[in-house]
Amino acid sequence: MRAADAGPLSDFYRGLDAYTDRMFFVLSDFGPNVTAEMADLQAAGEELHWLLEAPDGEVIGHLSLQPFPGITPRLGICVLQGWQGRGLGRQMMDLAIAGVWDLPDSTGLWLSVLEENRGARALYDSLGFRRVRDRMVRRRYSRYRQNRGMFKLVDMVLSFPMNR
């Protein structure tokens, strides 16, 4: 992600349909200031962001690792509904896992997923993530009223073997 990607990434999140907004549990307003800060944090080596683009250049997916480098990174991923089911999320996850695997002293990855997002949970299970905690979270921001309120999240961890 470069500074020039901040606008397209902001447009990506602001354009999510209600289903994708809900399933990927977008917790904040990814306006231009937020996405510009994400680009700055990547430039400083504190986070890592990948944007997935369609052939026409439209952003159709985003994967983030935070903090990066550092303790077990938190992974976040979102793929537009119309592009799901094509293996793109798995390819992005494989890229993230390989990148973190190569870091010295990396111990794995963790993520949170909405309990009702069965498709994502199945993908994470197939990649070796294990469920470690369920928790309730209040979502205050969403332009879709039905996507605000209390939701059950599942925290999942992918642990790397100590002797890699």
| CATH number of the domain residue 77 falls in | 3.40.630.30
**Tens digits of per-residue pLDDT, 82-123?**
998 899 999 999 988 988 887 777 788 999 999 999 989 999
Residue 22: domain span: 3-159
162 has pLDDT over 80? no
Which H or E element spans position 37? helix 32-43
Q: Global pTM? A: 0.85
Count: domains in the chain: 1
The residues, any chain, with a CB within 8 Å of residue 49's CB and separated by 6 or more, are 1, 5, 9, 38, 39, 42, 62, 63, 64, 65
